[in-house]
Amino acid sequence: MPTDRSLSPLIAATTHWLTRAYPPGGGALQRSLAEAQARQAVTLAAWLRYPTELDAQLVALSGPGGSHRLDWITGADAADARAVPDEEQAQSAWRTWVDEVVVSWAACLLGAPALAVAAHALASTERADTVAVAFRRLTEPGEDDRHAAALLRHPDLLAPIAELHRAALLERLGAEAGAAAEAAAGPAA
């Protein structure tokens, strides 16, 4: 099973990308709640995407691909183009660790808590030998969680990113789990 250390650069960069693309409103508490939800979604998506230690080591060696297409879809590349030249390299270096598939899967999980429950059940089965991790903010978001991450959980805003690799996530979850989660979530985002 992958260790968090193997996937930590990918998880950190991908979480950072999500919270920049769908920023929380309000103060420090709202930012923390939104980041916690994004990190839980990204961690779960990364565990599903890279289920073995070998998978995690291979992505660490080869790199996940970066955020170029995601930036283009969300318009984030326009904001980086306005950056000061000295800051541009520092601002874009972390983007090379963003994994497009993990972002898409995390967007699916954030937009549909029922899908997150199915994903958590599968990951818990596959990672039974690791410490149990609670994903309550992702699978059972409270009112504060929803308010803090209104953009991050908005199905219409997430749709362009979530649809990129939704089919692969549903395939990974298995026909029954994916269909049950999709039915519980209602119409496609």
Residue 39 three-state SS: helix
Using alpha carbons, list the distances in angstroms from residue 85 to 45, 70, 92.
33, 22, 11
Would you say residue 131 has pLDDT above 70? no
Q: How far apart are CA 128 and CA 76, in angstroms?
A: 38
pTM: 0.86
Q: What is the residue type of 132?
A: A
What sign for the dihedral angle of Cα 37, 88, 76, 69? negative
Q: What is the mean pLDDT of the chain?
A: 85
Q: What is the CA radius of gyration of the chain?
A: 16
Which parts of the chain fold into alpha helices (H)? 4-21, 28-49, 53-62, 68-74, 76-81, 85-93, 100-111, 113-126, 136-139, 143-148, 155-173, 175-185
For helices 4-21 and 53-62, give the axis angle rounded to 10 degrees: 60
- What does the pLDDT look like over 32-65, one tens digit per residue? 999 999 999 999 999 999 999 999 999 999 989 8
pLDDT, greater one: 121 or 85: 121
